[in-house]
Amino acid sequence: MDFKEVFAKILGQNREVALCAAGTAVALLGLGLVYKYTCPEKKLTQVGVVSQLLVHPMKSGKAVSVETAECLRMGLKYGELRDRHWLVITEDGHMVSGRQQPRLVLVSLTCEGGQLCLTGPQMEELRVPLHQPNNAVVDCRVFSVDVQGRDCGDDVSNWLTRYLESDSTVRLVQFEPHLKAQRPSEKEPLFPKDEKVAYPDAAPIMLMSEASVRDLNTRLDKDVTVLRFRPSIVVSDCEAFTEDTWDHIQIGQVELKRVVGCGRCLFTTVDPETGIITRKEPLDTLKTYRLTDPMQKTAPILGQYYTVKKTGVLHVGEPVCKITY
């Protein structure tokens, strides 16, 4: 093969490569143009500012206020603390909440140095290992939904039983990733089928505004605080109840999708500072003007339930932006 034949062969091969590359580039350009003109551009409009982040490690227990928290698919996480990942149960596995035992709201659960720490009024501090893999996995029920949890041991059980002055033994369980979780869609079809939570009533995130609580206080004889309503995210710099309209929001890199309003129950009548239940206010007043969801006929709405569409880290002081297209 002489030089001309070699040159022609190389040119032919390179031409095929060049044509292939050009075809690929044209195809990608076409896809880009299709995406640009068929997928609307995301628009962010600031609607508020994060004023508080609250982690409730134990269901019905005391809130932990933090400046920053990871926002995961199953809720907020701060260090070893996960939102509503610990649950008080009866010996046969049924949930014990502040509705039956209002003094639970005064129990603080924290984690430090690989230990689980419990404190409460007139009780000695209790520390036990955070992870006890040899303890039994217990079948439990949160309302009507079956879940599981790892038993936290006899020392914790004895401490809680004494604190609650309960005639019957109570126990504490901890949720672990491989255990059976709740599927909110089993109770509320508006939730995505693949959504999972540990021990919350419904959703991984509950958000409400300071203004909504201020509006409520104008109708009450005695003010209540946002802690009464146990939100995950509290928002300032907005009008009362505008959170009802925030269908899709972004905070930093985190994206949240609104599902349904939070229907309020008897638990709102437990004072988080004293652990005393009145069974009246603020629930009675809320029922006079916040029965806004026909699907929740007797439950007044205050705050909104969200699912986490994009995980990330949240910070107090970050803008809350409504997403529109």
Band the pLDDT of 252: cuts 50, 70, 90: very high
pLDDT at 232 exceeding the cut of 70: yes
Contact between 303 and 199 (Cβ < 8 Å): no
What confidence tier does 117 reach under pLDDT thresholds 50, 70, 90?
very high
pLDDT at 29 over 70: no
What are the sequence ranges of the domains in the chain? Answer: 44-324
CA 270 to chain centre: 21
Reported as a single tens digit per residue, the pLDDT across 127-137 is 999 999 999 99
Q: What is the pLDDT of residue 18?
A: 47
For the cut 90, the answer to whether the pLDDT of residue 21 exceeds it is no
Which CATH number does 44-324 carry? 2.40.33.20
Q: How far is CA 185 from CA 52, 113, 145, 193, 203, in A?
A: 28, 37, 11, 6, 10
Rounded to an integer, what distance in angstroms lies between the CA atom of residue 242 and that of residue 320? 12
Average of per-residue pLDDT values in the chain: 92
Residues 167-189 have pLDDT tens digits of 999 999 999 999 999 999 998 99
